[in-house]
Amino acid sequence: MAELTKNWLTEKCIDFEYKKYLLLAYLQDVKKKFDTTRLYPWLGELIEHYKNIVSVRDNKQNLMQLFPQRVSGISENGHLTYDYIISDSDLMRELESIVAYAIPQIEIRVEEGKSIYDIVEEHLYIQPVGVIPLHPDCGYMLLKGGEKASTNVYEYQVTFFENASEKYKAIHTHFIKSFSKNISTTFQSIKSDLIRENKHMPNPAAYAIETEMTLPLEETFLPIAKRMLVRYISQA
């Protein structure tokens, strides 16, 4: 799998054809993943690359700061001063050409990934299992994908964090066990088994997320289900 590092723009040779080769090789590999409905971590990486390169385009100073600096002197207050090793030269114009080419190429693949994400999410169905406690920020998530699939159970914990401007919710999951499909196995019976086996959670929240689609578990079903569960709990 070809990889694209965070600083791919300024690493090694600053040459349009070379950077184009790196980018297209990476995007081709991402497309292969998307063609098999494997979204993560590649969709998240793509979005991050897209945000970074758009930021570089919109603020040329960001591009300059990617390069090393050298000491140019000492200011009147005794602080060291620095100059950028490169200036607004042919090299900078080469980088601007790379940025202009890369943005629409990455954007195409991001939109493809988002489209697959939306299709998958439309075919996921969530429901509470049994009585849900007043504080459902921890409990069990039951995933069942495909008609003949077993049910994978995860213990989850929703946490909160914030920065200067926004509050966020994050979900952490831990795989517990898998229940094979049979006549007597229902979501409620699975929850009852979990309560008997795990005394530390006598009254857990439990949510079942299922789909008729057969999806890659780690790369698609689980990450989308986690986001769906956080949204569902937040709206409840």
Among 5-19, 98-112, 157-171, 180-194, whose mean pLDDT is lowest?
157-171
* pLDDT score recorded for residue 59: 79
Helix (H) or strand (E) holding 222, with range, is helix 222-235
pTM of the model: 0.82
Strands (E), 85-215: 125-128, 138-145, 151-162, 167-179, 205-211
Which pLDDT does position 14 carry in this prediction?
85
CB 84 within 8 A of CB 64: yes
Angle made by CA atoms 220, 30, 173, in degrees to the nearest 5: 25
157's tokens:
């914990």
Question: Contact at 8 Å (CB) between 127 and 234?
Answer: no
CA distance 189 to 135: 22
Least confident of 9-13, 84-88, 144-148, 221-225: 84-88
Q: What does the pLDDT look like over 23-56, one tens digit per residue?
A: 999 999 999 999 999 999 999 999 999 999 998 8
Contact 206, 26 (CB under 8 A): no
Decide if pLDDT at 152 tops 60.
yes
Give the tens place of pLDDT for each residue, 58-73.
876 555 555 555 555 5
Distance of alpha carbon 60 from alpha carbon 37, whole angstroms: 36
- C-alpha closest to that of 221 among 234, 208, 233: 208
- The answer to whether the CB of 206 falls within 8 A of the CB of 142 is yes
What does the pLDDT look like over 134-143, one tens digit per residue?
889 999 999 9
Tell me the pairing of strands 138-145 and 205-211.
parallel
Q: Is the pLDDT reported for residue 86 higher than 70?
A: no
Task: Quote the tokens at residue 127.
Answer: 């429901």
Token reading at 82: 């620095």
What is the arithmetic mean of pLDDT over 78-103? 74
Residue 146 vs residue 98, higher pLDDT: 98
Mean pLDDT throughout 144-163?
86
Query: 182, 172, 176, 192: which is closest to 131 by C-alpha?
Result: 192
| Confidence category of residue 199, pLDDT binned at 50, 70, 90 | confident
